[in-house]
Amino acid sequence: MDLQTFISTLIFGLSSAAVYFFLAGGMSLCFGLMRIISLDQFFYYTVGGYMTYTMTHLTGSFWLGLLVGIIVSCILAVFIEKIIFKRIYEKALSFSMITSFGVFLTGIGIAKYIWGQNPRPVGSPFHGNINILGAELPYYRIFLIVAAAAVYIGLWLFLNKSIIGKAIRAGIEDAEKVEALGINIYKLFTITFLIAAGLSALAGNFNSAIVMVSPEMGWEVISFAFMIVIIGGLGSLKGTLISSLIIGQVVNFGTVIWAPLATVAPFTIMFLVLIFKPTGLYGSKIITRG
């Protein structure tokens, strides 16, 4: 592998990791506070992609599509959280997984009804390449890396410096103690659910410029998102970021070195992590909400 190929693969891996982080970050936050497996995040991911396609097609503005995608996804998330998830927070973990999977499948059917089954192209909002040590790299890939870094820093500041963020972090550690302090834990649930939906929609928006949007686009990333959350540790935003970087590089370098590695290597890493650290790299030891 020459230097130019190495640099290109590295940057493409980082940009892939950015999309994975947005999507898996929402799932991780939902589990950390609410102790639910929120597969409906893949529905918001699809909505983000389709809103970007629709607004780009109607107005020519990719960024308006980003904004509309986040707003629509958050509205849907509030409705789903209030109508469905609020009724199952105290139930077994498997119950939330099955229920959210039903929401995801329903979302696929809705997308097929509205937009049809054919993939739709969006196109990149940036044109041209930047030359780094002889490697020609799209500006958009660099933008994704910067955007992911900015979002992570923003989330870290929110969770560590704001009153609501500190309450969410405390709830992740021990929800019962937070409730004992007189804090309405269900309001924190709603806020966390909104943040997760917004991150998932952002993932769909950004990835729509790389892959064509389709009703099945959630299926294409579901295995990677699961592996990232498991490797990083359920409920850990830091772990999600690190595992996203690992999987992003493994998938892209695997594709260049030997295509089957892109599929096999991530699972191998997940199994090794689970053998030596069953809770993941930074995961919580608490697995149920009593």
pLDDT of residue 56: 93
Q: Which residue, chain included where needed, has tokens 């650290």? A: 277
pLDDT of residue 174: 66
pLDDT of residue 260: 79
Spell out the long-range contacts of 253-258 with Cβ–Cβ below 8 A and sequence spacing 24 or more: 253/9, 253/13, 256/1, 256/5, 256/9, 257/1
Q: Which residues contact 276 (CB under 8 A, 6 or more apart)?
A: none
Q: Hey, how many other C-beta atoms are within 10 angstroms of the C-beta on 210?
A: 16
pLDDT of residue 284: 59
Query: CA 44, CA 265: separation in Å to the nearest integer?
Result: 28
Class of the 3-118+139-276 domain?
Answer: mainly alpha
The CA–CA distances, whole Å, from 61 to 53, 75, 127, 193, 243 equal 10, 21, 14, 27, 32
pLDDT in tens, 214-250: 999 999 888 889 889 889 887 788 889 999 999 999 9
pLDDT of residue 173: 65
Residue ranges in the chain modelled with pLDDT below 50: 286-290
pLDDT of residue 175: 66
**Residue 87 per-residue DSSP state:** G
pLDDT of residue 289: 46
pLDDT of residue 237: 84
Torsion-angle region of 122 (φ positive above 0: left; ψ -120 to 50: alpha; else: beta): alpha
The answer to whether 61 touches 256, Cβ cutoff 8 Å, is no
pLDDT in tens, 141-184: 999 999 999 999 998 898 888 888 787 777 766 667 777 777 77
Q: Is the dihedral of CA 37, 39, 40, 44 positive or negative?
A: positive
pLDDT of residue 32: 73
Domain residue spans of the chain: 3-118+139-276
